[in-house]
Chain A
Amino acid sequence: MSAPLSYDTVVSERRQLLQTIITPETSLVGYIYPHTPLELFFAHHLTPTLLWADHKTSGAYEASLQTFCCAYSRNLFSQRAKEQLPKLSAIAFPGGTCDSLQNLGDVWRARFHEDTVLRLTYPVARDEAAITYLTEELRGFSNHLEVTFGSKFSIDKYREAVALTAEFRAAAQFIVAARIFQPSIYPYPEYAKLIRQFFTAPGPHTLQQVEQVASEVQHELRTNQLIPSAEALRYGLLKGQIPELTATPERKGPRIVVVGGMIDPEGIAVLFENAKINAEVEEAQIVLDILSFSFRTVFHPPSNLQGDPFHELAQSIISAPAEPTQEGLPDRLHFLEVIFDKLKIDGLIIAEHSFCDPDQFEIPDMLKIAEKKKVLTVRLPLDPEFSDRARIEGRLQSFFETLSVKR
């Protein structure tokens, strides 16, 4: 039997990893929104790092934010108030995504005057007009970075960064597609760790790790002659479509999909693996997650190096799988339905951040689809601190037990 996974280890690894990329010259910019254009920061000689929630930090927000602020926002604020965030040159908030993050940026400015608070505003729509709008927002943001940090946009740095993110995404996408066919080929917690490492410290070192894994997975798939199938699936997912599978997916145990918003994939992995051990259903596998900090970021189409960089970045961001903060609920529901149909899914885990409006509005419709497709579901109301951990693990355990009976 596997040893339980520890979230403490996950968090401490993140901190250590971050230390490896910090030099006296590093200007680290923390960001929050998954579709933040990392390439733009690199182009200005800045290093972006995704600010993850920390399950051990809580309770320092009460003098500034109400409890109905989303759990992720509260946690980030508490980390800052307790001076537990990494040393940042600036923090980039998203505008136009959700009310909690919108107001969090304002409150942050008011509370932490010494911080450099940046804001990049995104459109909710996903059409040509939205791309044009975002192009100009990105251009203005770039100008602001130049003024704030005194470093001009470097086209060479930009191109390097586009290559970095494109190579990372291609490798990660391949792992995702391979896992859909053969989830045992690379455990979900390990995949979640790779993603976390890259977004915490994006660079050649973390890219190499992802590419190494992708290469090993490829080698394994070659043995099973699954490479063309995985590539076709990867390409389809990148287009927001799922082709008919040309090979039969592995089915050692229940095949599970996780959906949710800005939830930490490693947090889900820890809960999932530990509940599996307790329920004695070790063969259950997360075959795919549709989380903001994983699938939706990984399946970003690459930016085209030809043309206006800001337009190409905007095009890439708007074409990425849509967040619940964007228009397109019918498309997202259809995508989920196709996943159920084509990927042989037995169970759905719906991870919902406490007080996350965008996620919570979509859940009832997801439940309806799952019911229609006879996919067993469980809702996990989460906060980053896992304050209700025992009950969540209990729910997952019951979910596994019901899945076992159903099978």
Chain B
Amino acid sequence: MSQKTTTEPPKEKAYRKLYTSKLLRETMTLHILSTKTASQNGRLVWVTSGFPVEIPVAFDTVAAYPEQYGAIVGSEKCGPLLCGFAEELGFSQELCSYARSSIGSVKKPEQSPLTGLPIPQALLACNNICGTVLGWYEAVSEMTGAPVYLVDTPPLEGDQPPHHLAYVKSNLEGLITFMSETFNQPYDEEKLLQVADLSNTAVNLWTKSLEACKNKPSPLNCADRFLSMAPIVALRGTQQAIDFYQAFYGEVKERVKQGLGAIREERVRLLWDNIPPWFTIYNFFNTLAKKGVVFPADSYTHAWSANIPRGEALESIAQVYSKIWLNKGLSAKIDKMCNLIKDYELDGFVLFSVRSCKRYSLGQMVTKEVITRRTGVPGVIIEGDMVDSQQYNEAQAETRVDALLEMIL
């Protein structure tokens, strides 16, 4: 006797996948391939996420981002393995896991995702995001022989005084000389301005996409933004970034027009602070999506939102890259987060205390109190790391976020 079977429609997921994620994958795959070619051709630079990348792009070099590679390592769940390679070399387990995984991948590329980042011809760091980048890049320099150039942007308190601007600008002039000598190419200011224009166009598209999340429901969730920020980090100043963000912003606009949210049922809107736990990024945000929790804004992906004004190129770049808000102290960060809560009409906030990232994380206890006092919304701190999953306790994080949700719902 044959048994009649019924086919149930597939259960809808709590979150909606972006169709531009395919284009994102293609864009980033091409970028990875281009870094390998650039390395072979002697034109690859490693840069920090807050580096004025427009300058190396104007010198026809290709930029690879160790922090982005750290995100891949985290997502591939091999953070502890690669960090372990660095620890075998004597690097303390207390150091940044982006740095450790990067150093580990240089040591053992054959055991690293994508066989590690290709070997660079120069290491370009800017300390506007943290002080760790100097020690990290100097350590990689000792391993690879690639020279380091640091753009020093001392932390600001309040407005940028003239001597600060002059100092950062002189660092950029030094960078120009360094790039000219290292890559045997003269500086072309007009080309730099063109690259800056391309960078601005991509940044504007990205910023508009982020601001679209003020809508209810929010067209993007945290994981969407963290994954889609890859080109704004790695391809700023190129046409590829613009091509991607035109498509991306198109999809975001379409979602807004149709009233489609990033998650099916938006009940609670939260702010996210800090780098995410890459090894559980889908699991973390999608688990919360099932409870109706969306994160329309975060303090991290908004970092790439400043335009380089037309004018004297190096001065404009010095202004923009000095004023990255991580370089402006705790009160600037708190102000920004309070504004995000107000502008995006958020119900609460989650501060991820990332053991690796002192500049970002130290101060979160004060931040939590001040934000709640100023905005009236509750928040919670969860602890862990962005790459090293050994430092993360999923159950503890869930319990704390659940407690926050109880306060809100």
Q: Among the listed B95, B157, B174, B359, which residue makes an inter-chain contact with A360, where contact means beta carbons less than 8 Å apart?
A: B95
**Bound complex: CA A364 to CA B135 (Å):** 11
Query: Could you say which of A92-100, A207-215, A229-237, A276-284 contacts chain B?
Result: A92-100
A97 to B330, CA, bound (A): 16
User: Is the beta-carbon distance between B95 and A96 smaller than 8 angstroms?
Assistant: no
Min distance, Cβ A342 to any Cβ of chain B, angstroms:
22
In the complex, A102→B328 CA distance in Å?
A: 11
Would A64 and B366 count as touching, CB distance under 8 A? yes
Is A123 part of the binding interface, using a Cβ–Cβ cutoff of 8 Å? yes
Residues of B within 8 A of A22 (CB): none
**Please, how many angstroms separate the alpha-carbon atoms of A347 and B134 in the complex?**
28
Select which of B94, B138, B167, B330 is within 8 A of A103 by beta carbon: B330
In the assembled complex, the Cα of A213 lies from the Cα of B157 at a distance in Å of 44
**Contacting pair A129 B358 (CB below 8 A):** no
Q: Are B94 and A354 in contact (CB under 8 A)?
A: yes
Known: A97-B131, A136-B161. Contact between A125 and B171, CB under 8 A? yes
Contacts of B139 in A (CB 8 A): 329, 361, 364-365
Excluding A96-B154, A111-B366, A361-B136, 10 further A-B contacts by CB distance (< 8 Å) are A64-B366, A66-B355, A68-B94, A121-B155, A327-B138, A330-B138, A358-B134, A361-B135, A361-B138, A364-B91
A225 to B154, CA, bound (A): 48
Cα distance A164–B359 in the bound complex, in angstroms: 37
| Cα of A110 to Cα of B152 in the assembled complex, Å | 27
Determine how close the nearest CB of chain B comes to the CB of A198; give it in whole angstroms: 29
Q: Is A85 in contact with chain B by the CB < 8 A criterion?
A: no
Whether A125 touches B131, Cβ cut-off 8 Å, given contacts A65-B365, A99-B358, is no
A-B contact pairs, 10 of them (CB 8 A): A69-B358, A99-B362, A100-B358, A103-B363, A124-B127, A133-B163, A352-B92, A357-B94, A361-B95, A367-B90
Hey, which chain B residues are within 8 Å of A110, CB to CB? 330, 363, 366, 370
Q: Which residues, 321 to 352 on B, are CB-close (under 8 Å) to A?
A: 329-331
Provide the bound-state CA to CA distance between A124 and B170, in Å. Answer: 14
Q: Mark B52-96, 1 if CB is under 8 A from A, else 0.
A: 000000000000000000000000000000000000011110111
List residues of chain A with CB under 8 Å of any chain B CB.
63-66, 68-70, 95-100, 102-104, 106-107, 110-111, 119, 121-125, 127, 129-130, 132-133, 136-137, 140, 324-325, 327, 329-330, 333, 352, 354-355, 357-358, 360-365, 367, 381
Please name all residues of chain A whose beta carbon is closer than 8 Å to the beta carbon of B135 when the two chains form the complex. 324, 329, 357-358, 360-362
Residues of A with C-beta under 8 A to B262:
none
Pairwise interchain contact B161-A99, C-beta atoms closer than 8 A: no
Q: How far is the CB of B99 from chain A (nearest CB, A)?
A: 8
Contacting residues, chain A, for B358 (C-beta < 8 A): 68-70, 99-100, 103, 355, 357
CB distance from B49 to the nearest CB of A (A): 15
What residues on A are CB-neighbors of B330 within 8 Å?
A: 103, 106-107, 110
| Cα(A64)–Cα(B164), bound, Å | 30
Q: Is B130 an interface residue (CB 8 A)?
A: yes
Interface string of B186-210 (1 = CB under 8 A from A): 0000000000000000000000000
Q: Which of A63, A129, A360 contacts B171 (CB 8 A)?
A: A129
Min CB distance A148 to B, Å, is: 14
B166: chain A residues within 8 A (beta carbon): 132-133
Contacts A107-B330, A107-B366, A329-B142 given: A133-B167 contact, CB under 8 Å? yes
CA distance A182 to B28 in the complex (A): 62
Q: Which residue of the partner chain, among A95, A107, A358, contacts B362 with CB atoms under 8 Å?
A: A107
> What residues of chain A lie closer than 8 Å to B134, measured between beta carbons?
124, 325, 327, 358
Query: Once the chains are docked, how many angstroms separate the CA of A66 from the CA of B134?
Result: 23
Complexed CA–CA distance, A381 and B93 (Å): 12
Cβ distance B163 to chain A, nearest Cβ, rounded Å: 4
Q: Take A95-B154, A107-B330, A140-B161 as given contacts and tell me if A357 and B363 are in contact as well, using a CB distance cutoff of 8 Å.
A: no
Q: How far is the CA of A96 from the CA of B161 in the complex (A)?
A: 16
Give the residue of A65, A95, A119, A355 whose beta carbon is less than 8 angstroms from that of B94: A355
Bound complex: CA A202 to CA B78 (Å)? 52
**A137-B163, A324-B135, A327-B150 known; A66-B364 Cβ under 8 A:** yes
Contact pattern, B 284-300, Cβ under 8 Å of A = 1, otherwise 0: 00000000000000000
A360 near B362: Cβ-Cβ < 8 Å: no
Once bound together, how far apart are the Cα atoms of A122 and B152, in whole Å?
Answer: 10
Q: Do the beta carbons of A357 and B161 come within 8 Å of each other?
A: no
Q: Which residues of B contact A367 (CB under 8 A)?
A: 90
Decide yes or no whether B301 CB sits under 8 A from chain A. no
List residues of chain B with CB within 8 A of the CB of A64.
365-366
- Closest A residue, CB atoms, query B369: A110
